[in-house]
């Protein structure tokens, strides 16, 4: 099976396996860094949405409880 080689510029250099592996590792490291930053952003947004949801549930529950409060009158005879 013939090996695939490519020349770069006028220097006539061959692309070696180590060059390809180094470039792939560089790309993978870049993607990993981006993913880590995205995880933190998504986590922050998730926590914020959860806290706002809990606060709204509390406030609407409290309001609902005040509207349906039973008034009991006791009269003495």
Residue 44 located in a structural domain: yes
Provide the number of structural domains found in the chain: 1
Sequence-distant (6+) residues with CB within 8 A of 7 are: 13, 14
Residue 58 located in a structural domain: yes
Residue 8 located in a structural domain: no
Residue 75 located in a structural domain: no
Residue 43 located in a structural domain: yes
Residue 6 located in a structural domain: no
What's the pTM? 0.47
> What is the predicted pLDDT for the residue at 5?
58
Domain interval for residue 58? 16-67
Q: How many helices (H) and strands (E) does the chain have?
A: 1, 2
Tens of pLDDT, residues 12-61: 688 899 999 999 999 998 888 888 888 888 999 999 999 999 999 998 88
């Amino acid at each position: 099976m013939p090996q695939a080689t490519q020349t770069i510029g006028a220097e006539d250099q061959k692309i070696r396996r180590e060059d390809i592996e180094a470039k792939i590792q560089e790309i993978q490291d870049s993607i990993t860094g981006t993913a880590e930053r995205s995880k933190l952003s998504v986590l922050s947004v998730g926590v914020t949405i959860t806290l706002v949801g809990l606060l709204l549930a509390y406030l609407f529950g409290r309001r609902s409880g005040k509207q349906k409060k039973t008034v009991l009158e006791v009269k003495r005879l």
